[in-house]
Amino acid sequence: MNSKMTNNELTPQLQRLGLRATAEGLDDLLARATTGRWSPLQLVEEIARLEIQAKASRNLQRRLKQAALGRFKPLADFDWNWPTRIDRAAIERALLPSFIEEKKNLILLGSNGLGKTSLTKGIAYQAILAGYSAIFRTASELIGDLSGESPQLRKRKLSLYSRVDLLCIDEVAYLSDDSNAADLLFEVVSRRYESGAIVMSSNRGFREWNEVFPHATCIATMLDRLLHYAEVVLIEGKSWRVRESEANSAARRQGG
């Protein structure tokens, strides 16, 4: 190598080698190595550390982008005392690596405003931090994603929903839908049966799903596969949003 090569000349070569972190922080790295009188081995070790750290960060950002979690309340801020009924232990078991490794399912059932979406996103987020891939979709988003596409695109999307480590499907049965929607949801569940973990939430009991998907013949079979390795958590209580609205109203009255 040319001993007179400048940092500016070396940077693009490092980038071509895929050593992006080293290239981006080359000036600082060399300054620290000079000041600390590092040995060649110490310099190589630091380059390896930087690249491993940067790769982990890029992978984390890629998984977060794929998951499409949007805004949500962290599990650390969830008020477990607000619901009058909730199995916290069952939800926390879904945070363990064994939940994903053993391809288990978690179903959250409860009325609106009790935190099912926050819990679902929180579980997905913890899985991502642990190094797993996750995708969060509402049922309508997932069904819309698989409807009206060419067979080739639908096949690729079904493959994506099948191979991700954790699939979170929120708001199942919130709105009435047709048998085609039920068939698409059934296909996703069937592909993940015994091969991938699912977290699902709904504001309707399972007996009502036939009303939500009228004329669908797959509901019983879908539930059978979904519930085989599932924990079902019933969440009861007053809507959190109603509570916040009442608190805000009370604060305005006091301020007025």
**Counting every residue, how long is the chain?**
256
Amino acid type, 95:
L
For Cα atoms 93, 100, 187, give the angle at the middle one, nearest 5 degrees.
Answer: 120
Tens digit of each residue's pLDDT, the chain (256 residues): 455 677 788 899 999 999 999 999 999 999 999 999 999 999 999 999 999 999 999 999 999 999 999 988 889 999 999 999 999 999 999 999 999 999 999 999 999 889 999 999 999 999 999 999 999 999 999 998 898 768 888 889 999 999 999 999 999 987 666 678 888 999 999 999 999 999 999 999 988 888 878 777 888 899 999 999 999 999 999 887 655 555 555 555 566 5
The structural domains of the chain, ordered by start, are 7-65 (no CATH), 75-243 (3.40.50.300)
Nearest to 157 by CA among 170, 142, 169, 167: 142
What 3-state DSSP class applies to 116?
helix
Which burial class, exposed, middle or buried, applies to 70 when counting CB atoms under 10 A from its CB (0-12, 13-18, 19+)? Answer: exposed
